[in-house]
Structure 1
């Protein structure tokens, strides 16, 4: 089963459709609710809804999901029934298979309840397919349409002194590259407010996005927030709220992060935790929001100092 533990939850919808071909007199039985087994449309609707809710039990590698809505609708024609299933959830993965399973089981239930009234070759369940889906990476993209530059500043005495390798900053670099950021500056400096201030002064207005890595905790040298927050003229508290919420579902220590986000002049500055996992989770949580912001924002600055 695919690991979806690092995927952010989002509102997801899937619509699937299918067609059951049947003789005209069978369609009339459906219309009147008069098969020998009862009202076939109502029974098949319940079957489809139950199928959506139990898809993970029927298809081996499907994840169990909370189903917030499942419905089956019909359109009756002269010699076929058009079946539509809609399924909705808030989760880390989509509900396409739930919608397809709902259509399939609704169609099979109609088939079962109509077969006493016609020959087997008169019934055919056909064209079961996904009609629409919304949510997740297909709706909330995780990559920029047009590449823009960014900067990563890693704050760590031990990394700067060469006593241990940097993993957190390089992981952030990899995520930004996959998200279509380009010309990414990468620096490692000690836990020094003075050096951080100097770099921010040098880079602001040159990079649309500046990410710091480290210094957001409660240690005596964790001063990134105290250094940068006074410079932020427009904070975006929702970004760090989302990061902490995402992280806290994976470790209770995420509540201790004091990270902040906001604009320093023309640059969006975001302070990420110094641990590899903490930085990764924080950035993954806010990545769709960042991509949306930069895709719609105009007059963003460029590396090199021109605008």
Structure 2
């Protein structure tokens, strides 16, 4: 398990009172050290949500900082197999028609992207990521995970923040605008150094592999386990990254065009036929 220090941000478009959800302990996440940039008028709990009301001026920015320990959830609900025979966009309606309690779950992926999924009798259901992973098994590789699509029928990958449960169907509810990490991230500067070395090498000023290796090491630490998990289910998709980095390293030493051509061929093959990276016998490719 890991923990991260995060910040949520909200800018008031008009003066007045604004009601916002606060991060709280929920299944799949533990929250502590919560600090608000402004004192709320009131804090209360309603329908399983921690809510705070703020008086804000037009253009005023509100921020909440907190520590989060997310965890993956894995359940095997009785409705999973039946849903696999239906289109994902129809899942919430099917379950509601069968008498299940269906709610919207509003929050963020830890990449900072807002994300909405569903809770069915309290269990996660994420048709969007199910479909995204069917089309591209490496869709969540930047988050360091490569879950199988069926995980999202009753669970999730453990790289998200749930902020609010809302009725489904229902009206739009006020929400925080952005999520960012407060922990230092060495990957962007390492990436810039690596790309700079590639650029110089391509211009005929070989730098050797040393400027590229820190970036490669950080990527391996962040995505290595996910790549290993990806190989059994989507070997062609998993080969893309190693092939690209092999070509990049060759550019800094002794350029090998065949590696670059191989990467491009594999890249376009996987994009034109996303399911080609999944073995036919795998249930994820069915």
Give the shorter-chain TM-score range: under 0.3
TM-score normalised by L of structure 2: 0.26
Higher relative helix content: 1
Name the larger-Rg structure: 1
TM-score normalised by L of structure 1: 0.25
